[in-house]
């Protein structure tokens, strides 16, 4: 991946390109506008092409007053002179970009240790695993601005935390901390500090990076595609994902390297072969 092409996102790679790291540090408060959505879209293009197997997103940004910031929300000021049609088109693009990021063939971990308002909370919904630091503060303030969460917060959040909690967050705009986010299922772990959260996230990403890119991607797509489907369809999705692992040669590579992996080594995996449920 050519990380030099990203102007706004701080993108770097580790572990022979298997881990992509995005540090959010842009604009006045990590707000998300057209330029940032475009860069996330290009990043998804690169993730879909491989060889990345894990993605880590975090921020060390602080406001002038010292408030820790993850993503402050959408850049609504850039829309001041837009027509209603332009606003709708932009939000549709945002929604589509986040949906693509959700399906990207990598294990996406976010460490949130700051405010994640509106778009920031919706961005977290695209992640596979979320770790909250002590300064995490999440909310959906949109209804107080005469709109609704339009990048997944209305249509998808309930599936993550349940209808009552989704209605609570979206209708009141109440801010919650990391402990409360953990209680309702919006994050999966808490950490004592940002650095502790990053250490935990890196260990998870490193574990994924040692595995078959085809198997990792097929498992993720299989799980996501199975949600809400009847049992017969879920079984069929699983069977086809397993067949891809066999037919691609990854299963044979794993068997051949089994003893080496028991001793702490890795297999020589093949290139990513995408699974289409």
Q: Is the pTM of this model over 0.85?
A: yes
Is pLDDT at 16 greater than 90 in this prediction? no
What are the pLDDT digits (tens) for 197-246? Answer: 999 999 999 999 999 999 999 999 999 999 999 999 999 999 999 999 99
In this prediction, residues 49-54 reach a mean pLDDT of 91
Cα torsion 162, 148, 45, 124: sign? negative
Upper half-sphere CA count for residue 234 (Cβ side, 13 Å): 8
CATH 3.40.50.2020 fits 3-208, yes or no: no
pLDDT of amino acid 129: 98
- Which residue from 208, 135, 215, 230 is spatially nearest to 175, judged by alpha carbons? 135
pLDDT of residue 35: 92
Q: Which helix (H) or strand (E) holds 108?
A: strand 107-112
Q: Give domain limits for the chain.
A: 3-208, 212-262
Task: Tell the residue number behind the tokens 């498992």, with chain if given.
Answer: 219
Burial call 217-245: b when 16+ CB within 10 Å, e when fewer: bbbbbbeebbeeeeeeebeebbeebbebb
């Amino acid at each position: 991946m050519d990380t030099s092409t990203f102007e706004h996102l701080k993108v770097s790679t580790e572990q022979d390109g298997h881990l992509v790291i995005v540090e959010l540090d842009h604009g006045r408060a990590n707000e998300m506008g057209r330029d940032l959505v475009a860069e996330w879209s290009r990043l998804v293009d690169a993730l879909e092409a491989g060889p990345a197997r894990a993605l880590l997103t975090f921020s060390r940004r602080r406001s002038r007053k010292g408030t820790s910031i993850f993503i402050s929300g959408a850049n609504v000021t850039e829309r001041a002179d837009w027509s209603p049609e332009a606003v709708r088109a932009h939000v549709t693009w945002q929604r589509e970009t986040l949906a693509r990021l959700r399906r990207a063939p990598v294990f996406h971990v976010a460490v949130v240790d700051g405010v994640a308002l509106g778009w920031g909370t919706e961005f977290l919904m695209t992640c596979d695993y979320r770790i909250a630091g002590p300064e995490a503060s999440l909310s959906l303030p949109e209804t107080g601005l005469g709109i609704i969460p339009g990048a997944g917060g209305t249509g998808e959040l309930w599936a993550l935390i349940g209808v009552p909690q989704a209605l609570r967050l979206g209708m009141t705009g109440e801010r919650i901390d990391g402990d409360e986010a953990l209680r309702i299922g919006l994050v999966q772990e808490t950490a004592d500090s940002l650095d502790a959260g990053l250490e935990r996230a890196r260990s998870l990403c490193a574990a994924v990076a040692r595995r078959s890119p085809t198997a990792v991607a097929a498992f993720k797509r299989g799980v996501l595609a199975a949600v809400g489907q009847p049992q017969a369809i879920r079984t069929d999705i699983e069977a086809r994902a397993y067949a891809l692992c066999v037919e691609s040669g990854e299963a044979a590579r794993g068997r051949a390297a089994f003893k080496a992996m028991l001793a702490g080594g890795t297999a020589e995996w093949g290139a990513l072969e995408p699974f289409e449920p």
